[in-house]
A and B are shown apart, each in its own frame.
Chain A
């Protein structure tokens, strides 16, 4: 329609002005999005092709950086470890997540309603915090290890091996599978399962031979997703891989900073490009699989009434399985942190009551940088989250109900940051802020952190916004056009008011994600930009366990406040 020119204007309608007013903001929105996404990434690629940091006077274009890392045995062992852990956690998370989804969606499992939010907890708590929780709870002198040794004479687990990390990564990524598997199950009629039941299949058989095969596309999608998250893993291997010196790609990149003694940005960029080269195909694959899964679901048509499958004597097995998983993935790390935050020290022979203290929190609140970190974290989640949602909404409106080339460009544009781990985007933004003069004054303000967060979570946020927008029936907007409203007015007066509940929900989810975020801030951390997540990484490196425990607990409390609000207002915790 926009290609047709010279349309006569109807009398009495302020049409020409309306059009110009809506075309300009759209172009600006797309331009700013493109700049925010592409500038840091091109900087990484450019930097990877230099022989020295890009601000050095002496540098050459070439593949020297790649040659260096490819000849470094540590790189290859990090790559192998990354693949092993990603593969291992996929093998653990997908079957468990599928079975969990089946039990929660389809059976008369007791107490489903209050278990559901608990199931999602591992995906809302920072992996850094979780990893730390495992160390203090189940490490060699963790609470549970000590108690187990006192009771049984030993603790039959080890966290710091590759297998240990894979198991923990697998168990904490069960929610990612659960989310997709359960929404696929929701769209499936329960008659197929009842038919299998009547034919004599036990609930377990029904799950294995009917329900799970039918949601195969969703499971396949989540398998790719979990593998992808495995390649990106940072917090868990940083904390758990350290004692035995296991490196994965992201921790290898992180340790490169110290490896040569001088800034080795070109090497880091080369590793970053290697990681992105692995994640981009995975992201495209996810996009393709997700579309497939949706098609599959539509072909199935409307789901019939879903009835709960009675578990019968299998109930206790299901309770044991889910209980065990909740214990390991949620209760152990969280109680570990909660306990550690209130004791002076811990080890064999220490009594909880004797070691009890509030000093850890005093230490946090006596240190201005920690206080600022808490304050900044709250600020970036609330005010920053609101501005972020506003930005995402603007991008959503730029493509809403428009099927032109620009919409497709934006579609791919918002997907790009998905392929780049937060750690790398943070690094790229550090460079942008350091060496792009107009932005340099903002370097030591929370704005730099906010911008990086907003770009990192672009794809996730856009999914929230577009699912809200999709719920507005086309006819409501067409009705407004037919009575004479232009695009701008329709957006402001019809669509926006209709999606306001969805936007508030998105704000809460973005709040929780921003509270949880840690890796994006690692390189952007500076006096003035402290946030809890990045501060924890830095403090962990320094070995300040007491403060880490207290800050971690504060971080968990912040996330849980968001979670409580979300549950109170009935926000869907997943898309």
Chain B
């Protein structure tokens, strides 16, 4: 059953449209990430679901209860939606202890203080914060603050938990640990979570499904594998990974493959929807999919190595092909000069 349904949501500030018709669902026990560049409307969508922004049109349902319906003028205020929201800044109340921060949602629900105390204690223990109840937020590390914010949002068992860039306030090293921990927690507690992020790596790792937003619309949605390996549009392909771009012209098309010709190369690739014979097109391939080859061959091109960068676990080589630049990974340093690069047919997408 869908825990959260959004239908054709439109939202604008003055004359500035932010959401231009977004439709999505969130199933029970599922983690969905809203991914997109800044200004794509992902945070606005999350806040509209939470009830902190008022859309002009569309329907939002939590379970089978309508919490917003533009046509019927229904708008349940945020405080009555009973969703859990974790803020990017955590927004912990500085004048309340950790315990009181977490307990507040229960007190608002007129729950007896003995039960409040046991439920808060349990929530804190689940998030390994058991010993920090008496502290104030400013006495905690960034990671601990994030867990308090989570505990505060989870303690009253909301049907859906909304996470706004939950990891962006942590430093780089901590972020990866927190990512694994958060994914594990969500799966263990069987939470239904909607998570906003601008980091594609985070979205790939955390979610069961990704919604990629672009300019207030959903560009593409699917599992992380689909989004990364089978992008339907240039925007999705570009946003989801590190890529090489080769501009050229499609000169031949058959059986889902297309021939892209440009300055110094002639390559077959997988034809995407937008590709058409005779038109300008862009060839795109992930950095890790380019293979450095011994000599000429099928779907290969010759380029000049300009420099190499050592990344620790591998080398990144920079090649020049006329005015274009290509990057590829390798296990060892290469000599300056001309090299052959293979761009496998299945991995080169023609948009």
Contacts and interface: CB of A to CB of B under 8 A. Distances in A.
Given A8-B76, A14-B110, A485-B104, 18 more contacts: A4-B75, A8-B65, A8-B67, A9-B80, A10-B65, A10-B81, A475-B87, A476-B93, A478-B87, A479-B92, A480-B104, A481-B51, A481-B77, A482-B153, A483-B152, A483-B156, A484-B79, A486-B77
B188 interface: no
Given A481-B52, A497-B95, A1 B105 contact: no
B230 to A, nearest CB: 36
A1 B75 contact: yes
B76 A479 contact: no
B180 interface: no
17 contacts: A7-B74, A9-B80, A12-B109, A473-B91, A476-B94, A478-B50, A478-B78, A481-B79, A482-B85, A483-B79, A483-B104, A483-B153, A483-B156, A484-B80, A484-B108, A484-B109, A498-B95
A8 B91 CA distance: 28
Nearest to A493: B104
B303 to A, nearest CB: 42
Contacts, number: 107
B109 to A, nearest CB: 6
B216 interface: no
B108 A494 contact: no
Contacts of B73: 3-6
Contacts of A498: 93-95
Contacts of A497: 95
A6 B71 CA distance: 13
B89 interface: yes
A15 interface: yes
A482 B74 contact: no
Interface string A476-520: 101111111110010001100110000000000000000000000
Contacts of A18: 79
Tell me the dominant secondary structure on chain B's binding face: loop
Given A484-B82, A484-B108, A478 B76 contact: no
* 7 shortest interchain CB distances as A-B pairs: A483-B105, A482-B85, A475-B91, A10-B80, A479-B91, A481-B78, A4-B75
Interface residues of B, number: 37
A72 to B, nearest CB: 53
- Chain A's interface size range is 20 to 34
A3 B70 CA distance: 12
Nearest to A3: B73
B156 A484 contact: yes
A31 interface: no
A489 B110 CA distance: 13
A485 B52 contact: no
A478 B83 CA distance: 12
Contacts of B87: 475, 478-479
Contacts of A3: 73
Contacts of A4: 73-75
Given A8-B74, A13-B80, A475 B89 contact: yes
Contacts of B41: none
Contacts of B36: none
Interface string B54-78: 1000000000011100001111111
Contacts of B92: 479
B79 to A, nearest CB: 5
B84 interface: yes
A413 B255 CA distance: 73
Interface of B: 50-52, 54, 65-67, 72-85, 87, 89, 91-95, 104-105, 108-110, 152-153, 156, 162
B86 to A, nearest CB: 9
Nearest to B50: A482
A475 B52 CA distance: 10
Given A4-B74, A483-B108, A489-B108, A15 B80 contact: yes
A12 B65 CA distance: 14
B52 A478 contact: yes
Contacts of B77: 1, 7, 15, 481, 486
Greatest chain A CB density within 10 A among B73, B74, B108 is at B108
A482 B78 contact: yes
B108 A485 contact: yes
Contacts of B67: 8
B312 to A, nearest CB: 34
Contacts of B84: 482-483
A249 B90 CA distance: 56
A504 B115 CA distance: 36
Contact of B93 (A14, A482, A486, A494): A494
A488 to B, nearest CB: 11
A515 to B, nearest CB: 31
Interface in A1-34: 1, 3-10, 12-15, 18
Nearest to A476: B91
A484 B156 CA distance: 10
A296 B80 CA distance: 41
A493 B95 CA distance: 10
Contacts of B108: 13, 483-485, 489
Interface string A155-170: 0000000000000000
Contacts of B72: 6
Given A12-B109, A13-B79, A482-B50, A473 B89 contact: yes
A5 to B, nearest CB: 6
A23 to B, nearest CB: 13
B95 A484 contact: no
Contacts of A6: 72-74
Given A5-B73, A484-B82, A484-B156, A13 B91 contact: no
A274 B303 CA distance: 84
A497 B100 CA distance: 14
A7 B162 CA distance: 22
A482 B67 CA distance: 14
A473 B89 CA distance: 10
Residue of A480, A481, A484, A493 with most chain B CB atoms under a 10 A cut-off = A484
B67 to A, nearest CB: 8
Contacts of A9: 76, 80
Contacts of B105: 483-484
Nearest to A16: B80
B52 A482 contact: yes
Contacts of B78: 478, 481-482
A236 to B, nearest CB: 45
A414 to B, nearest CB: 26
